[in-house]
Amino acid sequence: MGLFDKFKKKTKTETEAVPLYLYSEQELDEYEAFVQKNFGQYNQVMHEIVSPDIHLDIIMVPPTDENPFYKMVTMGMGAFKMDVPEELKEYELEYAELVLYLPPDWKVNSSEERDYWPLRYMKVLGRLPVNADTWLGFGHTVHGDEERRPFADNTKFNNILLLNACNLELQSLELRLSSGKKINFYHMFPLYQEELDYKLANSLDDLLELFDDADLFPVLNIRRKNYALGRGNGCIVSNRIVKENWNIGYLYRDEPMQGVPDSGWRFLKGDEDETYMSEAGNHSICALTELCKDDPDLKSLLDAPIGTCYIRVGEHTFIEDDGQHEIFMSRRVTM
């Protein structure tokens, strides 16, 4: 008897909800073979008790000596055809399943929220397309709730990024069923709020370039570094620049303000004093990306650490401020 035989053959009582979207028995057989080939043998499945729309189970492939982590794979999300935009139809993105890797010491059978949240959000994302009449795919991000709170008390992650999933040999995954459906697999990669802000202000490629290779390996690490901390897109800019069209002559990086996407960067013409900058009406909150469009020479400076100060000494030249050079001041040419 196959692992799914009992699931496929069980009968429904009159009081049980019948899912609207299910894999056929043939599709389940093919799915079972695919999961075992790409993730390994397993003997535990988190079966769903009530299934009003799709029957969404989670397969648990246990840690092995060769791959010492849990491989969690949804089963059932791909029975629902997602509403993919017309311009993307050629890529066959309508059907998807989710993958998540957990450390070997993770309490996968615990109902405590600090242990259960990764599995909870596998189910939340697995049902999102059918509940919200939407679709999920590569590069999409989903928050845990509208208030952007952390998933649990043991982490500050609060949103999930979807990346293309790979098998244990790091080969890309997709399953073509005999019915013709192409099932795409997406890995759930939790992010901090600052990382999401950075992605939205820049791009997914820019965000992933910040990561060390070790942290791009997809096993969940709730203690990993926040790679966008202090890299928010916000900054404070003197109104001599914003409203009077002076070029940036002096810039420094302060401690970012908490609770907002602040980079810590402050931009001045260069002759403002503390009294001037202490007046709220004399400066504006701007986006780094917009400043860099007007002044591309800034982009190479923005990774400097907190405490760094630069001055402009030429039309396209900045140096670290050593107190020995005068600031080159000029107005922007406006059309």
DSSP readout, 89-124? GGG--SEEEEEEEE-TT--TT--SHHHHHHHHHHHH
CB atoms inside a 10 Å sphere around CB 78: 26
| pLDDT tens digits along 266-276 | 999 999 999 99
Question: Residue 248 above 60 pLDDT?
Answer: yes
pLDDT, tens digit (0-9, with 9 covering 90-100), for 101-125: 999 999 999 999 999 999 999 999 9
Number of C-beta neighbours around residue 333 at 10 A: 7
Rounded Cα distance, 115 and 119, in Å: 8
* Sequence-ordered strand ranges (E) for the chain: 44-46, 57-61, 70-75, 95-102, 141-143, 159-164, 174-176, 182-191, 234-238, 250-253, 262-268, 283-287, 309-314, 317-320
d(CA 53, CA 176): 23
**Whole-number Å distance between alpha carbons of 24 and 4:** 12
Query: Global pTM?
Result: 0.73
**Res 40: pLDDT:** 95
- Looking at residue 17, its pLDDT comes to 60
Amino acid (1-letter code) at residue 301: L
Whether the pLDDT of residue 77 is over 90: the answer is yes
Q: Are 293 and 286 in contact (CB under 8 A)?
A: no
pLDDT at 335: 54
Query: Residue 293 corresponds to which tokens in the numbers above?
Result: 């469009």
- What is the mean predicted confidence (pLDDT) over 19-39? 94
pLDDT of residue 14: 41
Give the DSSP letter of residue 289: H
Mean pLDDT, the chain, as a whole number? 90
For 26, phi then psi, to 5°, come to -65, -40
Question: What would the pLDDT profile of 153-205 be if each residue is shown by its tens digit?
Answer: 999 999 999 999 988 888 889 899 999 999 999 999 999 988 998 898 789 99
As a whole number, mean pLDDT of residues 60-74 equals: 96
Among 48-52, 211-215, 272-276, whose mean pLDDT is lowest?
48-52
Residue 40 near residue 65, CB atoms below 8 Å: no
Share of the chain above pLDDT 70, in %: 93
Highest mean pLDDT among 9-18, 95-104, 227-236, 299-308: 95-104
CA dist., res. 268 & res. 273, Å (int): 10
Q: Which residues 6+ apart lie within 8 Å of 79 measured at CB?
A: 19, 21, 22, 23, 27, 54, 55, 95
Angle of CA points 116, 118, 121, to nearest 5°: 105
Task: Write out pLDDT tens, residues 136-157.
Answer: 999 999 998 888 899 999 999 9
Q: Indicate whether 5 pLDDT > 50.
A: no
Query: pLDDT at position 334, please?
Result: 67
Query: Which position has the token pair 């982009």?
Result: 299
